[in-house]
Structure 1
Amino acid sequence: MAKKIIYRVKDYIEDKTYNEKQMNEAVQRLWDYMDRLSADELGFIRKFIDNGNNPIYEPVGRYFAFVDAYYNSRPVVIKRQVRSENAFMEQCVLDTKFYNLLKYSLKKYNKINHFE
């Protein structure tokens, strides 16, 4: 009985260490990505962090040069086009996994890139 408990504790510790290692690697990849963004792009992503990833409206056709650069994913998701006054706008949000990783980085390290 004691051996089973010891093995379960050991497995738990190994799993926790593995998960922490995986998260640390994901955060490092995130920081490397965020370091390559321009000030405008970084500011755009910060808007989502500040507003809880609620939709932001941008003019149709705004080119997000950085959207496909994060491991073949789209950190900025364009949900739909809407008409606002006399112009069409795109409703944008961050990908949920990307946003959650940003929030984790902020909570644990108080930064979202290497230079903060």
Structure 2
Amino acid sequence: INDNGGNLLSYDIFCFGKVLLDLISGLDVSGAEDPYAESWVAKAMPYIESDSYSDGLLALIDPSLVVEEDFTREILGVAALARACLNPTSLKTLNMKVICEALHNPNQVLQG
């Protein structure tokens, strides 16, 4: 941990990304000691890193969450936020204030 706690903050954001994956996938993948969870996250990373929402993030979403078209964009926004939290490059610029603001309007995450 560096003096300002940056490594700890990055780890917290990464773990929060796993919690967001829990919410959108319907799976319990955020358990720190669960080998299945770690394996699932490793298998999900290619989908998370994909630039194509239809081929990537959409494949991770629990189909029971998509009740209306409006919810699909919101869920994709949360999925994109999870991707940002799990991306080592994004961890350098993300903080929880930005993440909380994005969760208030997940549609905006997709707009850039």
TM-score by length of 1: 0.32
Q: Which structure: larger Rg?
A: 1
Q: Higher strand fraction: Structure 1 or Structure 2?
A: 1
Q: Higher helix fraction: Structure 1 or Structure 2?
A: 2
TM-score by length of 2: 0.33
